[in-house]
Amino acid sequence: MSLRVYGDSISGNCLKVKWVADFLGIPYVWTETSVVNAETRTPEFLTLNPAGQVPMIILEDGRPLAQSNAIIGWMARDSVLVPADPYDHARMMEWLFWEQYSHEPYVAVARFHMHYMGKTREEIGERIYERGAAALKRMDDALQGGGFLVGQAVSLADVALVAYTRVAHEGGFDLSDYPAVTAWVARVEAALGIV
C-alpha cells in the first residue's frame, strides 16, 4: 500500500504535502478532496479525520495523520529539509508555528474569500489585510540578507510559508511591496522545483 494523500489542489496547505513528497521522492497516491464541494464533510471522510480538514494522509500501515505542518514534518524527518543544528531546527519550528497563527489566517483566508468565493476586500474586512500585510512585512524584514528563512538552505519553514505567499496576489496583496519576499519566492520555487 502506498502513502495516500487526501488533498485539495487549490489549498496551499495541501500543496505543501505534495511538494515535500515530490522533492524527497516519496511515492504517494493523491485523492482530490474538494473543500468547496464539502467533500471533507462526508461521513466517510469524517470517519478518517473527525476534524473534517485536508490535507490528511493515510500511512502505509493504515494510520491517519492530519495538519499540513505535522505531515511535512513526518515526511521530511532526517532529510535535508530539516536543519541538523538544534538551534536552526528550533528556528524552523518557530516559523512553522508562526505560519499557522500569524500568516495563514490572513493571507490564505483573504485569498480563499476573494479568489474562490468572489468576495470584495470590503466584504473580507480591513483587519485581515492589516494582519496579512504585517506578516508579509515580517517576512520581508527577515529575508533582507537573501537566502532562506533559516540559513542558506531551503527548509520546511520555506515550504510552509511559500505555499500561500506565492499566491498572495489572488487575495489582494501586492507582493511588489515586499521585494525580499518576491526574490525569496523565486528561490524557493527553484529549490523545490515548483512550477
Domain boundary, last residue among 43, 76, 109: 76
Which pTM was predicted?
0.95
**Residue 81 included in any domain:** no
| Whether residues 70 and 154 fall in one domain | no
Domain boundary, last residue among 15, 45, 76: 76
**CA distance to 77, 108, 124, 165, 184, per residue, from 144 (Å):** 28, 23, 30, 16, 10
- So what's the pLDDT on residue 1? 57
Say which CATH number the domain at 61 has: 3.40.30.10
- So what's the pLDDT on residue 34? 94
Q: CA–CA separation, 2 vs 17, rounded Å? A: 15
Say which CATH number the domain at 109 has: 1.20.1050.10
The whole-number mean pLDDT for each consecutive block of 10 residues of the chain, a chain of 195 residues, reads 91 98 97 94 94 96 96 97 97 98 97 96 97 98 96 95 98 98 98 93
- So what's the pLDDT on residue 152? 87
Domain that holds residue 186: 86-192
- So what's the pLDDT on residue 151? 84
**Residue 173 included in any domain:** yes
Domain count, the chain: 2
- So what's the pLDDT on residue 2? 83
- So what's the pLDDT on residue 48? 92
